[in-house]
Amino acid sequence: MTIKLHCFGESGNAYKAALALELSGLDWEPVFVDFFNGGTKTPEFLALNSMGEAPVMEDGDIVLSQSAVIQDYVSSKSGKLGGRSAEERRQILRWQFWDNHKLSSPAGMTRFLMNFLPEDKRPAEVIAFTQARLKTAYMVLNNELADREYLVGERLSIADLSCCGYLYYPEPFGFERADWPHIDAWLERIAATPGWKHPYDLMPGSPADRA
């Protein structure tokens, strides 16, 4: 049975789930969510996810939301991208929780405020505050990758796929890969993984589609 992922290309959180599915080798297909026209607030979507957020995964009778939960499910089902021990699994969870609070949350907000709001409605002080928070997160991630190729163990895992989620997007939000050489090299390694795709190639929906 083909797994369905309700998603849209602009969403870094949806990209985390989609990339895990793509690299796992499981049979899946994207289902476009028209987020910018209220697609996550329809009765049909809310019946899938009462939180009103994408992504949502359907695998038969199993319906899951939240990208980290979907990634864990994909890893468990495929036997790929997970930890090789209980300690590695705890470390993966550690990075997923950190990413959600310290990296992806402010990155997603900053990118939205800087690119998807009308220029005259972009709150400069809020953007400056979130960019400062992001700089701290980039420092943590860059330092961690100074002497290792991946965040947990010696191979790619869903910890990496969580933390890279927003960092491939081309829209400006205060992240310049050249400023963070260890992150830059890590992103190159991930992108060299067979099956890797850019978010706008992996999922339907991009700013160009709405232009």
Q: What is the per-residue pLDDT across 118-137, written as a single tens digit (0 to 9) for each?
A: 999 999 999 999 999 999 99
Buried b (16+ CB within 10 A) or exposed e, 84-120: eeeebbebbbebbebbbebbbbbbbbbbebbbeeeee
Q: Are residues 178 and 111 in the same domain?
A: yes
pLDDT of residue 28: 98
Tokens at 172, concatenated: 């400006």
Q: Are residues 105 and 43 in the same domain?
A: no
Cα separation of the two ends of the chain: 35
pLDDT band at 32 (very low <50, low <70, confident <90, very high): very high
Q: Are residues 28 and 112 in the same domain?
A: no
Domain span at residue 30 reads 3-81+196-210
Rounded CA gap, 198 and 195, in Å? Answer: 10
- Report how many domains make up the chain: 2
Tokens at 207, concatenated: 């700013």
Please give the share of the chain, as a percent, with pLDDT higher than 70: 100
Q: Are residues 64 and 159 in the same domain?
A: no
CATH of the domain at 26: 3.40.30.10
pLDDT of residue 119: 94
CATH of the domain at 110: 1.20.1050.10
pLDDT of residue 123: 97
